[in-house]
Chain A
Amino acid sequence: MPDIKEDVVLDARNLLCPMPVVKAGKQIRTLEDGQILKILATDRGSIADFPAWADDTGNELLEWHEEDGTFVFFVRKVEEED
């Protein structure tokens, strides 16, 4: 198991596309620069969706793994520089 300490956990289990990404988008806005969001999801599509979402939003996907059918993602909030 990776040694990452999250600041906030988002439980998006049992939700299907696009709701995990929608909830993550909403949640990450409440975090401060550098804080870490842990996301739990059961939607298989999230394996592709969260890396793409992190890339598009400029946040950093630190690590993800599968745990008994749940996909766990760690995303570090990166404040946008304009």
Chain B
Amino acid sequence: MLETHDTKLTEDSVRQLVREEIQRAFKKDPAKKQACIISSKGTLDWAYPPLILATAAAATGMDVSVFFTFYGLNVIHKDFERKLKVSPVGNPGMPMPVPMPDIVSSLPGMTSMATTMMKSKFANKHVASIRELLDVARESEVKLIACQMTMDVFGYTQDDFIDGVEFGGAAAFLSEARKSHLTLFI
């Protein structure tokens, strides 16, 4: 109550009051508990970050929506195991057993070799697979939303996607995003 303070309102006590009030307001802010992520890339390596962050956010009690658009649709496609690949071409950051110029890594078979390499490396290190992360996401009620516009462009139907996927457009994403402190474009 203010009356108890107004006899001796020092600058420090005012600061302290303001700090407490802000913390109290922040605790009640529903946007703090909501996360919205856009997943726009369709390679194996880039399928991980949105799913890892979404499942971790759900584990901290957040309501999470992941909006899959453009090549990101690969991640929730029924055939994601086959569609998600990684290519060493144009990716100088990818660790290779021997240094490899683009002209070599662009040879036929190199993409599937790099994909197999990455999958086995991840499995050896006990990193969860994309399938496991998708299962965890759905178990923890992460909303997986496919972008209807890019689906139409690529010729996908709703049946092409794994169970539990919802469908929506930019307005649907923005409506969720404007209520979230945490929004990421990946």
Contact = CB atoms under 8 A, between A and B. Distances in A.
Nearest to B122: A16
Interface residues of B, number: 14
A17 B133 CA distance: 11
Contacts of B128: 15-16, 18-19
A22 B140 contact: yes
A46 to B, nearest CB: 12
Interface in B111-138: 125-128, 136
Interface stretch (B2-10, B58-66, B87-95, B152-160): B58-66
B148 interface: no
B110 interface: no
Interface residues of A, number: 15
A14 B126 CA distance: 6
A34 interface: no
B165 interface: no
Contact of B60 (A14, A16, A17, A21): A21
B60 A57 contact: yes
Scoring A15, A24, A25, A26 by chain B CB atoms within 10 A of each residue's CB, the highest score goes to A25
B52 interface: yes
Contacts of B55: 18, 22
A57 B61 CA distance: 6
Contacts of A71: none
Interface of A: 14-19, 21-22, 24-26, 53, 56-57, 80
Interface of B: 52-53, 55-56, 58-61, 125-128, 136, 140
